[in-house]
Amino acid sequence: MGWDLLKSFLVFLLIVVGFIFILLLPREMVITHQGGLVFTADFPFTFDLFKEKVQAFIQHFQTEKGFGENKMGVPILEELQTFLQRDLHIIIPAFFLAIILGMMLGIIQFYFREKWVGKIQAFLSWIFSSIPDFFFYIGIQYVLIKLVVHGHLQMNLFGNEDWYSFLLPMVAVTLFPMLYMMKFTTTSLENEVGQDYLRTARSKGLQRLFILKHMLWNCWPSILNQTQFVMLYILSSLPIIEKLSSYQGAGYHLLDSIFKNEDVRSLAFMLPYLVFMFATVVLSKLVKHRLVPFKSGALR
């Protein structure tokens, strides 16, 4: 267990260092006037230029004793705290809803897999999983805008000023990981169908729900491993969804700082996302170690 946690921590550090090096790659556009109305744009890259950016990056932290301030004179960590609180209103409920609802829908689909209910559910999940989350969000936005224009609905669809501003982005980032968990749960249960312990349980006349309970317990270790992918889906979708909704969270300002070549600010807004991923991996390993100490494949 200790070695697994150490490996996860080393991977986390490697990802942080890798992100910093990618962030510091020279990407500023250089526009050259060729004469008259002719201009050329280029993105020069040399090792010396990259070295200068790395040295300037390190010097900034040495001078500021931290992340310092943004262009408006506000401490970066102070604005990060404000924006991160808004993100948590989306990330935490989306994470638990995706896992809980995904598992419940997966169990339902498996239980009714031979009936029309399960087949319709499988078809709908296939349809929705084929739609990118940002396209799904744009579609919902379009419908709601039409309702607002015709006076059927009174709400603000953009920004973060209203108490309900986080709901629509939360639904958008929850959909795909929820469908992923549903499919994984269904597949895991289907893989258990041919196990010998199930034949023994059926021969003893045990109820289907009792058997399903033990099948789910045997699938629990592999299901727990998927929590990190759920968090990854949420965090990777959140910045673009916040951009589309003008929701001023950490993801929104992460994209904004990258586009403006604000390397220090970009790192400050990216680090919490990496910490969320690392914490999810560690917690899933700890929970699996504590709650699933036995090997699967037997009735308990």
> CATH number for the domain including 268?
1.10.3720.10
Whole-number average pLDDT of the chain: 85
Looking at residue 292, its pLDDT comes to: 63
Range scoring the smallest mean pLDDT among 52-61, 159-168, 285-294: 285-294
Please tell me whether residue 38 adopts helix, strand or coil conformation.
strand
Neighbours of 180 (CB within 10 A): 19
Q: Please give the average per-residue pLDDT across 99-103, as a whole number.
A: 93
247 and 275 fall within a common domain:
yes
d(Cα 164, Cα 154) in Å, to the nearest integer? 12
Classify residue 126: in a domain, yes or no. Answer: yes
Classify residue 297: in a domain, yes or no. Answer: no
Looking at residue 64, its pLDDT comes to: 86
Please tell me whether residue 41 adopts helix, strand or coil conformation.
strand
d(Cα 35, Cα 230) in Å, to the nearest integer? 53
Quote the number of domains for the chain. Answer: 2
62 and 83 fall within a common domain:
no
pLDDT band of residue 1 (cuts 50, 70, 90) is low
Q: What percent of the chain has pLDDT over 90?
A: 36
Nearest CA among 283, 181, 193 for reference residue 222: 181
Classify residue 247: in a domain, yes or no. Answer: yes
**152: which residues sit within 8 A by CB, 6+ positions away?**
none
8 and 92 fall within a common domain:
no
Classify residue 74: in a domain, yes or no. Answer: no
Q: What percent of the chain has pLDDT over 70?
A: 95
Classify residue 296: in a domain, yes or no. Answer: no
**Residue 30 φ then ψ, to 5°:** -110, 120
Highest mean pLDDT among 52-66, 121-135, 230-244, 281-295: 230-244
More confident residue, 128 or 54: 54
Q: Please give the average per-residue pLDDT across 257-281, as a whole number.
A: 92
Looking at residue 93, its pLDDT comes to: 96
Handedness of CA 29, 31, 37, 38 (dihedral sign): negative
d(Cα 100, Cα 275) in Å, to the nearest integer? 22
**235: which residues sit within 8 A by CB, 6+ positions away?**
91, 251, 273, 276, 277
255 and 114 fall within a common domain:
yes
206 and 114 fall within a common domain:
yes
Structure token digits, residue 180 = 């992923």
Q: Would you put residue 44 in left (φ > 0), alpha (ψ -120 to 50) or beta?
A: beta
**79: which residues sit within 8 A by CB, 6+ positions away?**
70, 253
d(Cα 269, Cα 258) in Å, to the nearest integer? 10
Classify residue 48: in a domain, yes or no. Answer: yes
Q: For residue 38, give its domain range.
A: 1-66
pLDDT band of residue 35 (cuts 50, 70, 90) is confident
d(Cα 71, Cα 56) in Å, to the nearest integer? 17
28 and 140 fall within a common domain:
no
pLDDT band of residue 40 (cuts 50, 70, 90) is confident
Looking at residue 250, its pLDDT comes to: 93
Structure token digits, residue 176 = 């795909």
Q: Please give the average per-residue pLDDT across 194-216, as a whole number.
A: 74
Question: Is residue 54 scored above 60 in pLDDT?
Answer: yes
pLDDT band of residue 298 (cuts 50, 70, 90) is very low
Q: Please give the average per-residue pLDDT across 163-180, as a whole number.
A: 91
Classify residue 72: in a domain, yes or no. Answer: no
137 and 278 fall within a common domain:
yes
Looking at residue 238, its pLDDT comes to: 94
Classify residue 171: in a domain, yes or no. Answer: yes
Looking at residue 299, its pLDDT comes to: 42
55 and 93 fall within a common domain:
no
123 and 201 fall within a common domain:
yes
From residue 201, alpha-carbon distances to 9, 39, 112, 296 in Å are: 42, 77, 20, 15
Please tell me whether residue 224 adopts helix, strand or coil conformation.
helix
Dump pLDDT digits (tens) for 142-164.
899 989 888 888 888 888 888 88
